[in-house]
Structure 1
Amino acid sequence: MSVEALHKVILYPFINESLASLKAMTNLIGEAGEAFVDSVDDFRFKGYAVCSEVTGGLDGVIMMHHYPETAIAIGNSVCEHMFEEKYQYTEINEELSHALAEWGNTIVGRSTDLHSRYSLDYKFSSPYFVHNVNDMEKYLAGVTEVITVPITIEGAGRYYFNLLIRNVEYQTIGIKREASTGISNPHTQTLPLDSKILLVDDSGMIRKALRRYLLQLGYSNIIEAEDGSVAVTMVRDHKPDFLFLDVVMAQMNGDLALAKIRADGSKVPVVMLSSITDQVLIKRCESEGISGFIFKPINADNGAEIIKQYLKIA
């Protein structure tokens, strides 16, 4: 299979989504170069990578691969764009790791969802992160070909998409990029300012951003949970008036938590949050009764305004 075919079928949605998310989450501008075949023997770990395993008709790994200085620049920009504060970290710390993880999760979530809308014989794993050069050897085991596309960011450096291929057994079909939008809250009555709002997301960074946007709007009675199972208990014990609920979390996903909350008899208004725009998932959440669905990312430029549009109860 040609480099061009692999680029268009597998890498193209990831590259396009990364450029769109780069603009939306950092206000940085990136430009993709031409795809080329890398030497497997000469392939080297650059310092930081977001990865997703590919199985099925294609066996391999997709890497969004950064030099440390580029990862740091992107992480600082994600924080700045989300919180409207100047960040000047010089190494990847916990806060930048959370920022980079949010960026990477958004890209992989949206890209793999787009792939899933087509009858393609491959699947992608949840994203994971590689920081250690010693880990690279296991990812190269059995790799016969590496396809690379460089992404240049104005004023910030360069990162790469690498497709590490172990085996390919499928026919080529093209993919078009589709825009993702949120599903609005149909209600018209604004949530009172003294209402208790529960934020549920396993990303402390997202909870911090949501809290900030709510405070900007005048809401201060805010409680938090970092997992769906905790959220189920908090709804029982604290009786919140409104709930923002992430979908993908470590212990219990938001759609399962929503089902349990409804099974307990709670009719609390719920707005879902996710970078995944899978229509089956959305329909499942809608069947449990939700007041809207926000597709990430959100940031300081639009965060408060977006949240305001969803804070409606009747």
Structure 2
Amino acid sequence: MKIDLHSHTKFSDGHLTPEELVLRAHTMQVDVLAITDHDTLAGLPLAHQTQAKQKRVMTIINGVEISTAWHGFDIHIVGLNVDVEDASLNGFLAEQSAIRKERAVKIGEKLQKCGFDGMLEKAVNLAGVGQVTRAHFARVLVNEYGVATMDAAFKKYLGKGKRAAVKAVWPGMEQAISHIRAAGGQAVLAHPAHYDITAKWLRRLVNDFAHHGGQAIETAFPGINPDKQKLINELASEHNLLASAGSDFHFPSRWTELGRNLGIASHLKPVWHDWALPAHQ
């Protein structure tokens, strides 16, 4: 069974619509797909409607990826199997959306001072139905202002300490975990190897995540080196965390693809171990 529990659509910073993402997942023979847009559940109804029209069986998991703050670092917590009708979670996500809008305005103002006119409007237009993220500003810089790559846009303008960087005031991860669990979901520490922290700080992060009620950790995702994956597997065992796997898919590329290379270590218990999944061929 091919399982991918971390993906994005145009409702956050993904390039595909929910309909296109579902069809892509079928092309890649994914059996279980979690859609985890940043701080929003808005793309899920369209994904379920699309899947309902397909002959091939695929389970769509209602998910979300919540931005949080921890000791000055932006840490992402994925919620899986959340109740999309939960009033508390939806209220919390509305607050997250407001934070994103405020940050977008400030980024636009800073980029204006860098000589890029109308950036907020262009980023909003690019985002369309989705929330404006830093990735949208980066894409505008690449598409319209000759910046070579997305990575270059972050390194020169949008990354930490750069001219157009704006630090969002995210809530603590304990709040995200609490809202996810109250909505019947499972809280997962997303892509722990991607944070710019030392092994010592990673141990501290995982300890705090587990202490606050986190239930799982992504142990398989693109770009993870074997040594870091070994450490994450050890931390999962040490803190009795379930193992999750996700591509963090945003668009088709040579580096990330739905369902690719997402096997977890055999000694770890997968986050889906007690899910009621239909039989897949």
Q: TM-score if structure 2 supplies the norm length? A: 0.32
Q: Which structure's CA Rg is the greater one?
A: 1
